[in-house]
Amino acid sequence: MIVLKFGGSSVASATAMSRVLDIVEKTAERDRVILVSSAISGCTDALIEIGRAEDPEHLIDQLEHRHLAIIGRLFTGKERLEASGDCRNTFSEIRCIPPVIESFGELLSTRILSRKLSCEGYKTVWLDSRDLISVREGIVDIAKTYKAINDAIEEHPEAKVFVVPGFIARTDQGQVTTLGRGGSDYSASLYAAATGAADLQIWTDVPGIMTTNPKLVSSARTIPEISYKAAFDMARYGAKVLYAPAVAPAREKGIAIKILNTFDPQNPGTVISGHNSAIGEWKGVTSLDDEASQTSTVCLIGEGPVGGKASLRRIGTALREAGIKALGNVRCEDGVNFLIPVRTNVARSTVAAIHREFFEERALRTIDVYVAGNGAVGKALKGIVDACGGRFLSAGKRLNIKEISSDHGFADKVLRTARSRSVFVDCTNSTEIWRKFIPLFNAGINIVSSNRRSLAIPYVDYAALKAAAAENGCFFRYDTTVGNALPILQSISDGANCGDGVTLIEAVVSCTLNHIITSYDGARSETFATLLRKAQEEGLTERDPRTDLGGRDALRKLLILSREAGVPLEEKDVEIVPMLGKEYFRGSIDDFYSRLEKDEPKFIKREDELDAMGMRQRFVATLQKKADGRFKADIRMKLVGIDSPFYWISGTENVTIIHSSEGYPLVIKGSGEGARLAASGIIRNILQ
């Protein structure tokens, strides 16, 4: 025996019924069939309304008309007359508003189906579920019901197809009753269990039990296999696709329940069985609303224990991201399901947020990230990634920070443990770490660096790193080494705005110097020494601020910029004129500061002169193509007038001007400082 149950939308019209009949007829070729049907969609609701309405006549007419229209399309001639007469008789009873009026819908639909099957030549018997399914004190009397079903079937050994109404039953007191809203699924399960059916198929308007209600979240996916327990939990917590009590009878007899789509019969749908291949996997998210209190319980359902605290954290993140506040504690049930109490008006967005967190990420490609350097940038990087649960939906990727470390041996450890295609991030200030890059590339590991010292190395070494990356098909990105998150290197390497190539790059890229120079206004507020000391205290300068003043940082940036423009510059090719004389660079830091204080009047005088000329001084790194085609590089103080993009910069702003043989120069200006910006630049480099 095979039990096929069709829900309201599967029998909602003559066309839908024809599909049902096709499915039944195909199945009947293999085995005897019990066809269980719901009322046509909306019918049960309409009957309940009729039962309550003061003047239900027009509602009754409408419902009758719907049924007669179906009959009109399915039958012709004498059959049509008989079917219509039958239908009208039932509506005469409905017009008397009998008790349990909602029980009539299934009578109407199944009589139509039964008659049609008979017309098509199938040996069909309509059985009255009210006489077979017996309810005692609100509970189905299983023994009595199973016996009655089997007796009825035995009475018709010739029958190929039995057609039975779902939903309805009778109490032991003899009154008609129902199995509760959605109860036809339960009827079908009872018929299947009673007859020991080989198959129980529940045909509906969606392709199986899905990860969530597809009418609420369009990215819901069909769950191919699910255990009885998890299906039961989905159902009792609100997945309307299955009526929860329907699980038990089939489960007790070990009959698999298939949930299939009437409108896409080839779709394999969902199989609910005792075979549980996915312990520890999330199955779906549902919502159970309580109308009276306007609250809902959103449930995340797992297949067996799914991991307590980590899951709880993910739920927390998902809610936070969606701006949803739970009404109380998120509760874990049996170590498996999570129950989230929320207001009903946010239930839908909660379901969507939880679905996104637990069911949509599989579409994202996961990238393992190893972060060398646990300073400000490393921490900011971790903070950004944690805050979004690692998911960067627009890039279709998920970043998984495997480890973050400032240990010396970290690169070696990554070499031993990381999978190929992972990303190694260098946000250290190490001068040596680059020596590990070639082995990392050889192991198929990509590298993103914000550490200038890893790039401002001898040109041969730099070229060897690039070659190793290319040979191994790895990426090697370091945009944040110049201008932090500004798209400077990228613009140069992409040849943006460049025509035949770069002819001149001028850059104010040293944040520290910039900050001091632009803040200094001739001691009207603070002396040069005080400004520098403050910058040092804020961590804006190197430990010995003279490193910055000497232009070393700008030198590294200029090397990186030039090489990106295809000019194989070496340190020795760059002429650096520090902003202070040689005498400042001798002696201790204290000597240095006292010299600065002594010279303050000179600085004030210089500032006044510049003011008078309408000029400002900026510490500019320049790479310029000479007439002979070679490049000249220097870093020095330059005076700039009001027409220069360098004139109006303040604080830690960076400006890079890229001139080419074509048209106007490209000017890139923006914030050149900040750990969070650097971290976001690194993330962009990873996701790119």
Asked if residue 640 lies in contact with residue 646, where contact means CB atoms within 8 angstroms, the answer is: yes
In angstroms, rounded to a whole number, what is the distance separating the alpha carbons of residues 239 and 246? 13
Is 166 a binding residue for ligand ASP by CB under 6 A? The answer is yes
Nearest CB to ligand ASP, comparing residues 44 and 512? 44
Tokens of residue 554, six digits: 């700008």
Q: Is 102 in the site for ligand ADP (CB under 6 A)?
A: no
Consecutive H or E run containing 201: strand 199-204
**C-alpha neighbours within 13 Å on the C-beta side of residue 439:** 11
Tokens standing for residue 11: 């029998």
Question: CA–CA distance from 475 to each of 66, 437, 486, 564, 685 (Å)?
Answer: 65, 11, 19, 15, 9
Q: Tell me the H-state helices in 550-669.
A: 552-564, 589-613
Residue 483 binds to Mg ion (criterion: CB under 5 A): no
**185 vs 357, which CB is nearer to ligand ASP?**
185
Closer residue to ligand ADP in complex, CB, 212/536: 212
Least distance between ligand ADP and beta carbon 324 (Å): 20
* Binding span for ligand ASP by CB under 6 A among 37-45, 52-60, 318-326, 491-499: 37-45
Nearer to ligand ASP, 270 or 514 (CB): 270
Cα-flanking dihedrals φ and ψ of residue 206, to 5°?
Answer: -135, 155
Return the residues of window 17-36 that contact Mg ion according to CB under 5 A: none
Contact stretch for ligand ASP (CB under 6 A) within 137-145, 182-190, 223-231, 305-313 = 182-190
x/- mask, ligand ASP, residues 338-367, rule CB under 6 A, reads ------------------------------
CA 256 to chain centroid, in Å, comes to: 32
- Pick from 399, 446, 395: which is nearest to 420 by CA? 446
Q: Contact 315/338 with Cβ under 8 angstroms?
A: yes
DSSP label of 206 = S
Give ∠ CA 603-608-614 in degrees, rounded to 5: 125
Burial of residue 615, with CB atoms counted within 10 A of its CB: 0-12 exposed, 13-18 middle, 19 or more buried: middle
Q: Which of 2, 3, 12, 39 binds ligand ASP (CB under 6 A)?
A: 39
Residue 352 CB, shortest distance to ligand ASP, in Å, is 26
Task: Reduce the secondary structure of 459-492 to three states and give it as a string.
Answer: HHHHHHHHHHHHHCCCCEECHHHCCCCCCHHHHH
255-280: string of b/e by CB count within 10 Å (b at 16+)? bbbbbbbbeeeeeebbbbbeeeebee
Angstrom distance (rounded) from CA 111 to CA 165: 9
> In terms of CB distance, is 46 or 381 closer to ligand ASP?
46
Q: Please tell me whether residue 210 binds ligand ADP under the rule CB under 6 A.
A: yes
Please identify which residue in 64, 205, 225, 573 interacts with ligand ADP, judged by CB under 6 A: 205
CB of 10 to ligand ADP, least distance (A): 6
Based on the shown chain and the rule CB under 6 A, indicate whether residue 249 belongs to the binding site for ligand ASP: no
Of 21-29, 183-191, 288-296, 426-434, the window that binds ligand ASP (rule: CB under 6 A) is: 183-191
Q: Establish if 181 lies at the interface with ligand ASP (CB under 6 A).
A: yes
Residue with smallest beta-carbon separation from ligand ADP? 7
Q: What is the DSSP letter of 393?
A: G
* Distance between start and end Cα atoms, the chain: 57
Distance of CA 640 to the CA centre of its chain: 50
Which entry of Mg ion, ligand ADP, ligand ASP, none binds 541, CB below 5 to 8 A by partner kind? none
In single-letter form, the type of residue at position 70 comes to: I
CB of 351 to ligand ADP, least distance (A): 9
| Among residues 284, 302, 545, 672, the one that binds ligand ADP under rule CB under 6 A | 284
Minimum Å gap between C-beta 245 and ligand ADP is 13
Closer CB to ligand ASP, 232 or 592, in the complex = 232
The DSSP symbol for 633 reads E
From the CB of 185, what's the least distance to Mg ion, in Å? 6
Q: Is 44 in the site for ligand ASP (CB under 6 A)?
A: yes
Pick the stretch among 21-29, 93-101, 175-183, 636-644 that binds ligand ASP (CB under 6 A): 175-183
Tell me how far apart the alpha carbons of residues 317 and 313 are, in angstroms, rounded to a whole number. 6
The smaller minimum CB distance to ligand ASP, of residues 130 and 515, is found at: 130
213 is a contact residue toward ligand ADP (CB under 6 A): yes
Q: Residue 63 or 401: which CB sits closer to ligand ADP?
A: 63
DSSP 8-state class, residue 272: E
Residue 297 binds ligand ADP (CB under 6 A): no
Among the candidate windows 180-188, 195-203, 388-396, 508-516, which touches Mg ion by CB under 5 A?
Answer: 180-188
Beta partners for residue 260, in sequence order: 203
Which 216-235 positions form the footprint of ligand ADP (CB under 6 A)? 234
With CB under 5 to 8 Å by kind, the binding choice for 105 among ligand ADP, Mg ion, ligand ASP, none is ligand ASP
Residue 212 touches which of ligand ADP, ligand ASP, Mg ion, none (Cβ within 5-8 Å per kind): ligand ADP
Site for Mg ion in 58-77 (CB under 5 A): none
Give the residue, chosen from 105, 166, 182, 249, that forms a contact with Mg ion under the rule CB under 5 A: 182
- Between 237 and 370, whose beta carbon lies closer to ligand ADP? 237
Binding residues for Mg ion, rule CB under 5 A, total 2
Comparing CA positions, the residue from 462, 425, 461 lying closest to residue 440 is 425
**Half-sphere exposure (CA, 13 Å, Cβ side) for 248?**
8
Those residues whose C-beta lies under 8 Å from the C-beta of residue 632, and which sit 6 or more positions away, are 622, 623, 624, 626
- DSSP result, 315-383: HHHHHHHTT---SS--EEETTTEEEEEEEGGGHHHHHHHHHHHHHSGGGSEEEEEEEE--SHHHHHHHH
- In the complex, least distance from residue 291 CB atom to ligand ADP, rounded to whole angstroms: 17
| HSE (side-chain half, CA atoms, 13 Å) at 564 | 26
Choice from 37, 38, 422, 450 touching ligand ADP (CB under 6 A): 38
Determine the interface stretch with ligand ADP among 154-162, 198-206, 429-437, 547-555 (rule: CB under 6 A).
198-206
Spatial CB neighbours of 431, under 8 Å, sequence gap ≥ 6: 453
Write the binding mask 104 to 123 for ligand ASP: x where contact by CB under 6 A, - elsewhere: -x------------------
And the tokens for 164?
A: 């039975």
List the one residue from 136, 215, 362, 421 that touches ligand ADP (CB under 6 A): 215
CB of 110 to Mg ion, least distance (A): 16
Contact residues for ligand ASP, defined by CB under 6 A? 7-8, 38-39, 44, 105, 166-167, 181-185
Residue numbers at the binding site for ligand ADP (CB under 6 A):
7-10, 38, 182, 204-206, 209-210, 212-215, 234, 239-241, 284
Binding site for Mg ion (CB under 5 A): 7, 182
